[in-house]
Homo-oligomer: A and B are copies of this chain.
Amino acid sequence: MVNSRKRSTSRDVAEQAGVSRTTVSFVLNDVRHANISDDTRQRVRRAAAELGYVPHAAARALAGGKSGTLGLLVRPLKMLPVDAFLHQLLHSLMEVCLERGYRLLVETASSSSPPETYVQMVRAKQIDGLVVLGVYEEDPGLTALIESGYPVVLVGHHPSPESRMVSSADEDGIARSTAHLIGLGHRRLAFIHYAPLGDLGEELRLRVFARALERADILYLPGLVMGGDFSAASGYEAMRRILAAGQPPTALVAGNDTIAIGAMAAIREAGYCIPGDIAVVGYDDIPTARFAAPPLTTMRVPAHAMGRACGEMAIAMIRGEPEAMR
């Protein structure tokens, strides 16, 4: 029931219920140490409902020092429309926010904009915590943030040991994919990894792939290793280069499913069969993977669980709960 056209404030509710604004605040926020009689409680609740009262977010944030908002930093911006993992993450993060009464603010940094936009938002106290997904370039701003004790959750890897992070276990996935293919008898393995720009994880991933080969006494062939970004187009291009370079591999480890789909197109185009001539293993388990032709074999990443974990962890850190420190 909304009575008037104008926003009603806590003062209006207080008047209507015949109590003070303090009491309204106590009741509506379920304040522990305030012993409010059940009767008063009811009156306040009803008055609020009748007036359609919704607390002013900014006022509450200002007075309370908390914005009730979580930031998701996606970097770079270009990643937004093409990275399937991000979409899954966004979904589960949103889910957690919904459950816990948080808002989700999406932020990004593009090369054109000042890279510290998100730092500004932190300093403006617009968000209470930050989940970071993207390429881990050297970023002093982020490092400083983490070291200052600000609630930051990283998906994947970052050099800071201080960081709380939800590991995407990329390395493990690569190791398993590679081992899987080797187990199938493959000896000429290509690797198109997910490594745009100065991603700090690149070297590590390459090493993991190399080590997997090494363990099986397989020679590492640099010509069969390429870096893509997070798009299908990059997978397509990388695979074309690999195929153009000489004797084709018999199997491909793709950094993510989107890359795999692009690479598969290049393989078919070159007249090879999948998996007859070249086997492909993807990574991420994007929803359309099983509808690819042929259905893409992929290393499942528990994206949903990871997204939820990020959200829960960030919120726990914000609230200073001990579990955050595990």
> CB within 8 Å of B: which residues of A?
7, 52, 54-59, 61-62, 67, 69, 77, 80-82, 84, 87-88, 90-91, 94-95, 98, 103-108, 110, 113, 117, 120-121, 123-126, 231-233, 236, 258, 261-262, 264-265, 268, 287-288, 290-293, 295
Shortest CB distance A39–B (Å): 26
Most interface-central of A57, A87, A95 (chain B CB within 10 A): A57
Q: Within the assembled complex, what's the spacing in Å between the Cα atoms of A103 and B113?
A: 14
Q: Within the assembled complex, what's the spacing in Å between the Cα atoms of A236 and B291?
A: 8
Of B81, B90, B103, B290, the residue contacting A121 (CB under 8 A) is: B103
Q: Within the assembled complex, what's the spacing in Å between the Cα atoms of A261 and B93?
A: 27
Shortest CB distance A131–B (Å): 13
Can you sample 29 A-B contacts with CB below 8 Å? A7-B123, A55-B124, A56-B62, A56-B125, A57-B61, A57-B126, A58-B61, A59-B62, A77-B91, A77-B95, A80-B90, A81-B87, A81-B88, A82-B87, A94-B106, A98-B110, A98-B117, A104-B107, A231-B287, A232-B287, A233-B287, A236-B291, A258-B287, A261-B292, A262-B291, A264-B293, A265-B290, A265-B291, A265-B292
A125: chain B residues at CB < 8 Å are 7, 56-58
Copy total for this chain? 2
